[in-house]
């Protein structure tokens, strides 16, 4: 089970658990071992002249410390805890990235809409999978694979042109950064809804799309 030692308040009075006292290596291994998620190491943060910079060397990197280090990252991803331990042993500060389109897809929405949707889902007593909240003010709702193909039609059926909402389904070929990966000096990715035994079985996107689309529509 993932240990939560502290929570912080967020919009809509939501609570985001903070993950403390665990190395990136140990966390990556547990994602593979306990959740059976594929993982792969990304770039990392380096300190130069008192400033944190992305190991990619781009001074204007939009996601410092939180993107793939290699073009062939999809082939590097592994669900083996042993392989994950070996990869992070080589670079212990590498970010933890999770490919989508395999054991889960992710619905990417703005943070403000995500917290509004979480509040509505709680009132509707919906069963959620894990949800991350990143320093770039985006949230990712984990759902069953296949969501990326379903979302445009589901959004249309709810009366929204898909392009009108800031809602994206991430499937094959995409990835999400996992806690406790850091985005430069902006902070770390955190769990808005942490992985637990109760949410090991992920919801289908059809169960969550209505409150998510509503929240994104309100957030425009």
Paired sense of beta strands 51-54 and 45-48, if any: antiparallel
pLDDT score of 20: 55
Backbone angles phi, psi at 178, to 5 degrees: -105, 150
Please provide the average confidence, as pLDDT, over all residues in the chain: 89
Q: How far apart are CA 45 and CA 55, in angstroms?
A: 6
Tell which residue, 134, 132, 116, has the closest CA to residue 194: 132
Taking CA 150 as the corner, what is the angle to CA 11 and CA 176, rounded to the nearest 5 degrees? Answer: 50
Confidence of residue 6 (pLDDT cuts 50, 70, 90): very low
CB 137 within 8 A of CB 11: no
Confidence check: pLDDT of 98 > 80: yes
pLDDT score of 3: 35
pLDDT digits (tens, 9 = 90+) for 69-83: 999 999 999 999 999
Neighbours of 56 (CB within 10 A): 17
CB 136 within 8 A of CB 63: yes
Taking CA 162 as the corner, what is the angle to CA 148 and CA 168, rounded to the nearest 5 degrees? Answer: 40
Confidence of residue 21 (pLDDT cuts 50, 70, 90): low
pLDDT digits (tens, 9 = 90+) for 133-154: 999 999 999 999 999 999 999 9
Confidence of residue 8 (pLDDT cuts 50, 70, 90): very low
Strand, coil or helix: what is 204?
coil
Q: How far apart are CA 138 and CA 80, in angstroms?
A: 28
CB 169 within 8 A of CB 108: yes
| Whether the model pTM is above 0.85 | yes
């Amino acid at each position: 089970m993932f240990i939560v030692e502290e929570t912080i308040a967020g919009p809509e009075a939501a609570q985001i658990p903070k993950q403390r006292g665990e190395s990136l290596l140990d966390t990556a291994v547990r994602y593979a071992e306990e959740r059976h998620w594929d993982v792969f190491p990304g770039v990392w943060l380096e300190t130069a002249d008192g400033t944190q910079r992305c190991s990619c060397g781009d001074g204007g990197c939009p996601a410092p410390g939180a993107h793939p280090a290699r073009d062939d990252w999809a082939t590097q991803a592994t669900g083996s805890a042993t392989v994950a331990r070996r990869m992070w042993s080589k670079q212990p500060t590498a970010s933890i990235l999770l490919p989508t389109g395999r054991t889960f897809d992710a619905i990417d929405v703005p943070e403000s809409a995500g917290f509004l949707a979480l509040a509505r889902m709680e009132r509707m007593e919906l069963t959620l999978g894990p949800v991350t909240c990143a320093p770039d003010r985006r949230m990712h709702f984990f759902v069953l694979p296949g969501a990326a193909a379903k979302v445009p039609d589901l959004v249309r059926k709810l009366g929204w042109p898909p392009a009108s909402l800031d809602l994206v389904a991430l499937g094959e070929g995409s990835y999400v950064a996992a806690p406790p990966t850091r985005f430069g000096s902006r902070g770390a990715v955190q769990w808005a809804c942490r992985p637990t035994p109760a949410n090991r079985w992920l919801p289908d996107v059809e169960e969550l799309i209505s409150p998510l689309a509503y929240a994104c529509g309100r957030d425009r």
